Structure 1
Amino acid sequence: MATTPMTAAEHKERTARSYKLLLWFAMASMFMMFAGITSAFIVSKSREDWMKDFQFPTAFYFSTLAIILCSVTFHLAKKAISKDNRSATTGFLWVTLILGAAFVFLQFEGFGQLMNQGYYFTGPQSNIATTFLYVIAVVHLAHLAGGIISLLIIIYNHFKQKYNSSQLLGIELGAMYWHFLDFLWICLFFFLYFFK
């Protein structure tokens, strides 16, 4: 039986679906990893040496705002390129990168605030509660590093004029990942805030 070859549009659509499905699987596995860490956090709260009264770093509030704004600006970049507005896309992508860097900076400021309170990740002054806090934040930062690398690639490809209203897969995938990082951090933030 003869098969009809795929058109270029069908091939493009199939490729986009494949990439999106792979990204969904990757995000699901990351979510499951954090579910495991937060489950261990909850179980560990029953330990006698659990520290119950540390002050949540104020820098984490501002970092949360920064990553929410990242999602907004990435969404606006995607909308702008879908209308072939290249200059607006450029601006929103750069703002997203700056906000992503601000998130990283504020996370480290939060670690500094914890250390100023006398709470450390390891060593004789460490506590299991702050160790969990550090692990959760550092693992999220590792995933964010992947997001920043992908954003730099997107910005490079944008300057090479690889995106337009009919070809925006790279920006779509980047936006999906950043929205996931945003959602994940908000969940982790509220979890740590209410369950500390």
Structure 2
Amino acid sequence: MANVPIDNHNNSGGVHPLKFSLWLIIISIIMMFAAFTSAYIVRREEGNWLEYDLPSILLINTIIIILSSVTMQLAHNAARNDNMKMLKLMLLLTIGLGIAFLIGQLNGWSELVDNKVFFGGSGANPSGSFLYVLTGVHGFHLVTGLIFVLIVFFSSLNYKIHSKNMLRIHLCTVYWHFLGGLWLYLYIFLRINH
């Protein structure tokens, strides 16, 4: 057992502490977004709800985040097969797509401002504020995901990610897929309830 890498700690007695921590984080994020979307529905039913078109970039961002989930999975598969070149390339593509997603979000907010849909303050309608909060909090979590992918990328440069040391990239892949699934939920929720 002395040759087993520390971060691949796998005992039959339970779940690795980092995996457990990641699932606690994911559950707390799910609860937060469940609260936000429930509040959205309740507040909309109270009236005084501004109707406006969702930014067109949201569909493009949905495609971008799906593609980034594919590249992240390909990076994971490359690590499992010890294909270091493919691993690094797919991680870089994931980072690039994640940044493109965030730029798209900023463009979406700009489109909202151009259409006089604002966040908070006088003259703002709660419908616009909810959209900013939902996309903004998701964007914040995507930034944390990008930091995680960057850490994994730099670890791959030092050959710390490979078939016998998969924990980091596995956790990163799970989190990244979760962020993609969360965005799909938000996009469908907004399309149905907007």
TM-score range, shorter chain: over 0.9
Task: State TM-score, norm by structure 2.
Answer: 0.93
Asked if 1:37 corresponds to 2:39, the answer is no
Distance 2:120 2:24 in 1: 33
User: Any conservation in 2 of the 1:118–1:125 contact (CA below 8 Å)?
Assistant: no
Aligned to 1:129: 127
Deviations 1:7-52 (A, max 9, x none): 345972139722112111110110000000111001001222111x
How far 1:171 moved relative to its partner? Answer: 0.6
Q: What percent identity do the matched residue pairs reach? A: 35
Gap runs ≥5 in structure 2 = none
Question: Which residue identity lines up with residue 178 of structure 1 in the other structure?
Answer: W
User: Any conservation in 1 of the 2:58–2:108 contact (CA below 8 Å)?
Assistant: yes
Question: Which residue identity lines up with residue 177 of structure 1 in the other structure?
Answer: Y
Distance 1:100-1:10 versus aligned 2 partners, 3 A rule:
closer
Aligned to 1:54: 52
User: Any conservation in 2 of the 1:73–1:92 contact (CA below 8 Å)?
Assistant: yes
Distance 1:48 1:132 in 2: 14
Asked if 1:13 corresponds to 2:15, the answer is no
Question: Which residue identity lines up with residue 21 of structure 2 in the other structure?
Answer: L
Distance 1:49 1:16 in 2: 48
Distance 2:22 2:43 in 1: 32
Aligned to 1:3: none
2:90 to 70, 79, 92: 92
Pairwise CA RMSD of aligned residues?
1.6
Task: State TM-score, norm by structure 1.
Answer: 0.92
SS of residue paired to 2:10:
helix
Deviations 1:102-136 (A, max 9, x none): 00000111111111111111233311001001001
Asked if 1:120 corresponds to 2:80, the answer is no
Distance 1:39 1:119 in 2: 21
Larger Rg: 1
User: Any conservation in 1 of the 2:5–2:165 contact (CA below 8 Å)?
Assistant: no
Asked if 1:158 corresponds to 2:156, the answer is yes
Distance 1:59 1:40 in 2: 24
Distance 2:138 2:159 in 1: 31
Distance 1:161 1:16 in 2: 25
Count of residues in correspondence between the two structures: 189
User: Any conservation in 2 of the 1:119–1:125 contact (CA below 8 Å)?
Assistant: no
Distance 1:36 1:123 in 2: 22
Distance 2:76 2:44 in 1: 42
Gap runs ≥5 in structure 1 = 1-6
Distance 1:98 1:130 in 2: 28
SS of residue paired to 1:163:
coil
Question: Which residue identity lines up with residue 81 of structure 1 in the other structure?
Answer: A
Distance 2:31 2:47 in 1: 27
